[in-house]
Structure 1
Amino acid sequence: MSEKIKILIVEDEMVIAANISLQLTELGYEVTAIVPRGEEALTQIESELPDILLLDINLKGELDGIETALKMQKTHDIPIIYLTANSDDAHFQRAKETHPYAFIAKPFKKLDLQRAIELTMSQAEMKVKNNKKPRQEQEEISILEDAIFVRHSTSMVKVSIADILYIEAERNYCRIFTSNKEHLLVITLKEMDKKLPAKHFMRIHRSYIINISKIQEVATTHIVIGRKAIPIGKSLKKELLKRLQTI
């Protein structure tokens, strides 16, 4: 069975947000959270990456929806569907800069929501396919005992295993985080997990692989590496603790 599409709702009118959440659940989608402010949305994205951001343009607080999208896009490529009760040209022109996948005008029907999401996922999948290189050029990673080589433009760059903090899934991509740099690779987290040396790395969540030696704290539901709180699956926590005892 395929995983449910995960959607983060960013809407400051909580009655509307609750109604949207109910409709999405009835349509078979997973709502990761409902948050009323752009600042909270950015924090939520760091703890659980959604497949789609359902984002009200006219948010109250320091960041409106468009400013939230611009900040999010500095680190993540999450498809955006805007919710708006204000369709004036000024808002539309600003919103266009964030390249949203759809706009839904309030009030809207469940069918409008469903079609916007289906079109968004279809476009996102097509984008991934179009970005894929020919098979002979797809090798993105080469593993050595103490380092990995990752593709950067037309060359391969050496990244020391000792420098890697964690690796995060982003659909069909992986983002490798070191203390001062990121590397985006066209490879799934599942394939990455197969290639990495098990003595250094462990997959602790469907979206994360960590460098075990970089763990600073193990909490009830997450671990901390650097300033990043990374969720850990319940079934994997016991295995991780066992691994830590052998280091």
Structure 2
Amino acid sequence: MAAAQIMVVEDERITAKDIQSALESAGYGVADLVFSGEDAVRKAGELQPDLVLMDIKLEGEMDGIEAATQIRERYDIPVIYLTAYSSASIVQRAKMTEPAGYLLKEQFGFLTKPFEESELNTTIEIALYNHKIEKRLRNREQWLAAILKSVSDAVIATDSKGRIKYMNPVAEELTGWIQEEAIGEDLDKILKILSKESTNIESGITSTDFFDKTVIRAKDGTKLLVGGSTTPIKDEKGNSDGLVVVFRKYRLN
């Protein structure tokens, strides 16, 4: 497996070289040493490193936090902050950018000593692993969303309190609600049941239930005859975590 490539953004040249030596000793590749925020953003796009070690305080108009924000938004590259400053305001501003890690450099008088190599290595490995998992989950969610958009049935998913989390385009068409409007609304507001002799949609079901010849009212007042099923979503402990409703409109002869 190829060594992870890491770009170091640090305006103290000696410190940057020390970090490079520590990274190479740990088996990582150093994509480049960069000394300003503006160059960091440009180089990240050119080199596409696996991770960026970013000093918060940098020369120039763009500090490390702003550079990290642009790198994450443009290139989805994880960033670990390096800093000799631990003030609450700096930490809070850094946290808003959702960094992959945060390393505080030790200071002795006028000399700044980079962190322990073991701490550096552990932080990098955790950051790389978490980013890999997050990317895999995002890809899976995009894949699932693409499938749900392509199916011919209407699909609505809720959270554990019955509030809408997702609607596919068919569900939008049948209910008259677009997903952006419906998110966070109660299911019974979006899927208005007028006749429910054969459905258990609004009760606390514990297994898949089917409903047939059920009348719903769309947002514009149109009445539709539908049939489908409701299935609970369970978490890893078997507790209810929401509901999926799949239904389709009956074709009338």
TM norm structure 2: 0.52
Distance change in 2, residues 1:13/1:124 (3 Å):
same
* Alignment correspondent of 1:124: 131
Aligned to 2:8: 9
Q: Label 1:60 to 1:125 Cα distance change in 2 as closer, same or farther (>3 A).
A: same
Deviations 1:75-97 (A, max 9, x none): 11111100010011000111011
The letter for the 1-side match of 2:41 is L
Which residue in the other structure is 2:23 paired with?
24
> Residue in 1 aligned with 2:66?
67
Cα displacement string for residues 130-165 of structure 1 (whole angstroms, at most 9, x for unaligned residues): 22427xx8499xxxxxxxxxx69946xxxxxxxxxx
Amino acid at match of 1:113: L
Pair 1:152–1:6, CA change in 2 (3 A) = farther
1:164-205 C-alpha deviation (Å, 9 max, x unpaired): xxxxxxxxxxxxxxxxxxxxxxxxxxxxxxxxxxxxxxxxxx
Asked if structure 1 preserves the Cα contact closer than 8 Å seen for 2:10 and 2:55, the reply is yes
Could you tell me which residue of structure 2 aligns to residue 240 of structure 1? none
Correspondence list, 1:14-163, <5 A: 14-107=13-106, 108-133=115-140, 138=143, 154=149
Give aligned pairs, total.
142
- Whichever residue aligns with residue 124 of structure 1, its letter is H
SS in 2 for 1:31: strand
Distance 1:73 1:129 in 2: 16
Instruction: Provide, for residues 33-64 of structure 1, a one-character-per-residue CA deviation record: whole Å limited to 9, x for no partner.
Output: 00110111111112110110100011121100
1 CA distance for matches of 2:3 and 2:131?
15
**Residues 1:35 and 1:20: Cα distance change in structure 2 (over 3 Å):** same
Say if 1:27 and 1:153 are closer, same or farther in 2 by CA, change over 3 A. farther
Amino acid at match of 1:45: A
3-state SS of 1:3 partner: coil
CA distance in 2, matches of 1:15, 1:133: 43
TM-score by length of 1: 0.54
CA RMSD of aligned residues (A): 2.2
Unaligned runs of 5+ in 2: 107-114, 151-253
Output one character per residue of 1:110-139: Cα deviation in whole Å (capped at 9) or x when no partner. 1111010011012112212322427xx849
1:75 partner amino acid: R
Q: Which runs of 5+ in 1 are unaligned?
A: 141-150, 156-247
Relative to 1, partners in 2 of residues 1:130 and 1:16: Cα closer, same or farther, differing over 3 Å? same
Distance 1:124 1:41 in 2: 20
User: Conserved in 1, the CA contact under 8 Å of 2:68 and 2:97?
Assistant: yes
Greater than 6 Å deviation, 4+ residue runs: none
Distance, in Å, in 1 between the alignment partners of 2:87 and 2:147 is 41
Bigger Rg, which one = 2
Looking at structure 1, the residues matched to 73 and 136 of structure 2 have their Cα atoms a distance apart, in angstroms, of 22
Q: Which amino acid aligns with 2:133?
A: M
| SS of match in other structure, 1:63 | coil
